[in-house]
Structure 1
Amino acid sequence: MQALPSPQQLRYLIALAELRHFGRAAAACSVTQSTLSAGLLALERQMDAQLLDRDVGKRVVFTPLGDEVARRARVALDALEAIPLIAQAARAPMHGPMRMGVIPTIGPFLLPRLVPLLRERFPGMKLVLTEDVTERLLEKLSKGRLDVLLLAMPCMCDGLETIPIWRDPFIVAAPPGHPFAINMADVPLNRLQSEHMVLLEDGHCLREQTVDVCRQGGSWSGEESETAHTASSLHTLARMIGQGLGVGLLPRMAVDSGILNGTGVVTRSIEGGQAWRTIGVGWRAKSPRAADYHALAQALRALAPGDTSVSAEGDPAVASAAVGLEAAV
């Protein structure tokens, strides 16, 4: 019977493939660099194959075979690590660490209510939070560094199972004295195409969602303007609007949390078109803790404002994403 690689050898290989540095990979695996190197050499001898190109100096370069083995090692290790999780989930649902990723346009406004809710509903859960932009959270989730994400959809969520929870409408935010503030109770969607918009910087899904809303009203080139103002956070964006640098779209969640206090910014609802994002949870497809994540989503519905709760069938954007996901998996 052929000898199989050990889980530790797979961890060494994956860490080196991700970090491309022997010292950092060893630290990530909590071993010395010599131990990691020896483990990889033993793996190569065991497989009778060269996984690393050692003729390129100090750089870490994988052979084509090494890249393929590392890719399959991730899949194999995920499957192996899922076995005890299945038993744990059956024995003690919603118990133990729950590593949750949350995006910056949700975290500051929802966490003051989310954390006490989860402590009350699931006292055995040890919540570990990470805030980052969607793309990096998805990467951490795919590498097993996170368990579940609190997302704003639609998003590029290939490989995830998702549950929509509620809609978070977009609100037009305009500086004092702007025509929107003086003459309108609601802003028609097509009026946004002629406005100079203040946007979040690249990497925030809210930037793309803002652009999509504006383009519903017709052609809009504000995103490509070299004079467009960009902000790294919603708090900065709100203050830019307050200083008369342009008009912006803010999630109702942020407005209700008082982000505009002291800015003088005036808000108006949008009429016409689909002007909202959908708050939901996502996790790796076929995770053994799927039942826990469904329970988490159900608990989070208690935080939905008013009658904004949705299902995948009730939200066209999310339903479309779900169809794509089913086709992918």
Structure 2
Amino acid sequence: MNLRDLHYLVALAEHRHFGRAAEASFVSQPTLSTQIKKLEDELGVPLVERTPRKVLLTETGREIARRARGVLAEIDEIKAIAQRTRDPESGTLRLGIFPTLGPYLLPHLVPLVRTHFPRLELLLVEEKTEHVVKMLREGALDVGVLALPLHEDSLHAEFLFEEPFVLAVPASHPLAHKQSLLKLADLEDESLLLLEDGHCMRDQALEVCALAGAGERSGFRATSLETLRQMVAANVGITLLPTLAIKPPVSRTDNVHLLEFGGRAPSRRIALVWRKSSSLGTFLKRFAEVIRSMPAELLQPDLGGARARPAAKRGR
């Protein structure tokens, strides 16, 4: 038994006609018919019912054809893995990213990847950090974009960039009228709106709160940065936002004032992460360089005179 014969059997199961199956397999009809007969002789069971008008597979033939499809799919995957190792730029890269970064980084990253690696197929998975790490560990992902620190000995982390946080407050908040750059001390005794458990940015925001003497707004935990942004706009409270989340193509939100920190601003450190045993390591270092080539201004709040947009006036 060989893979070629399994291909012929699957083609026959799909087309139910020796001529069309042969054409789809790029062989002559006598060749395909002979190979199917040889496969039947080898297995010792009939696989095909030959009738004047059409071809029907026996019950055994249908079951073997079904399993043959799975075998051939696995063979294709093995070839794809080998091809990806020989020429990573022409393969598929399975990339995981966490939800408070993905929607804001990917619009800038994907065009860069297409420019530098036009033959690369990028498959994106957006999950919380814990799940991305698990998928990396199990081989379900090739690489992840995650926040540091990571405590996983099996993974290599390649630092990419540091992303500052800004403070988002509603127009009615006293800090909305602050003219100078923000200090951590300005957050003392404030209560911040934070994300629910499982988001790495929740942990990062709690660290900022601890440094500033601030706390968490009780009775509320958001599932996304967009929820936090809209809660600020609705005068529910204040929150921290990462810089990429305030950059185009993200639209400005009415009644949300953004304040930049002076000095050593609170931030998160982002890295490209992959298994230390991965054969893609050399390519992934080049992939990291592409991410680092993003324009520097994307990671600078640079709020200037357009830090905030006042609430929309009605009746005009």
TM-score (norm 1): 0.62
Structure 1 CA distance, aligned partners of 2:249 and 2:188? 27
C-alpha deviation, 1:92, in angstroms: 1.3
- The amino acid that maps onto 1:185 is S
Structure 2 CA distance, aligned partners of 1:228 and 1:257? 31
Residue 148 of structure 2 is aligned to residue 153 of structure 1 = yes
How many positions carry a matched residue from both structures? Answer: 227
Identify which of 159, 163, 174 aligns with 2:158: 163
- The amino acid that maps onto 1:271 is G
Q: What is the match of residue 189 of structure 2?
A: 194
- Give runs of aligned pairs for residues 1-329 of structure 1, distance below 5 A: 88=83, 91-218=86-213, 220=214, 222-223=215-216, 227-257=218-248, 259=250, 261-271=252-262, 273=264, 275-306=266-297
Structure 2 CA distance, aligned partners of 1:198 and 1:117? 34
Could you say if the C-alpha distance between residues 90 and 232 of structure 1 is closer, same or farther in structure 2, counting changes exceeding 3 Å?
closer
Larger radius of gyration: 2
C-alpha deviation, 1:272, in angstroms: 5.1
C-alpha deviation, 1:164, in angstroms: 1.1
Structure 2 CA distance, aligned partners of 1:164 and 1:202? 25
- The amino acid that maps onto 2:180 is A
Structure 1 CA distance, aligned partners of 2:86 and 2:290? 20
**Deviations along 1:11-37, whole A, 9 cap, x unmatched?**
xxxxxxxxxxxxxxxxxxxx9xxx9xx
Structure 1 CA distance, aligned partners of 2:184 and 2:246? 19
- List alignment gaps of at least 5 residues for structure 2: 1-62, 68-76, 301-316
- The amino acid that maps onto 2:107 is P
What RMSD over aligned residues (CA atoms) do the two structures have, in Å? 2.8
C-alpha deviation, 1:101, in angstroms: 0.4
- The amino acid that maps onto 2:89 is M
Structure 1 CA distance, aligned partners of 2:273 and 2:291? 13
C-alpha deviation, 1:258, in angstroms: 5.6
SS of equivalent to 1:282: strand
Percent identity over the alignment is 36
**Deviations along 1:249-308, whole A, 9 cap, x unmatched?**
100110113646233111111235551112221001231110111011001112252396
Is the contact between residue 189 and residue 273 of structure 1 (CA under 8 Å) also seen in structure 2?
no
TM-score (norm 2): 0.65
Is the contact between residue 238 and residue 260 of structure 1 (CA under 8 Å) also seen in structure 2?
no
Structure 2 CA distance, aligned partners of 1:131 and 1:102? 5
- Does 122-131 or 186-195 show the bigger shift? 186-195
Structure 2 CA distance, aligned partners of 1:100 and 1:293? 11
Could you say if the C-alpha distance between residues 121 and 129 of structure 1 is closer, same or farther in structure 2, counting changes exceeding 3 Å?
same
Is the contact between residue 235 and residue 259 of structure 1 (CA under 8 Å) also seen in structure 2?
no
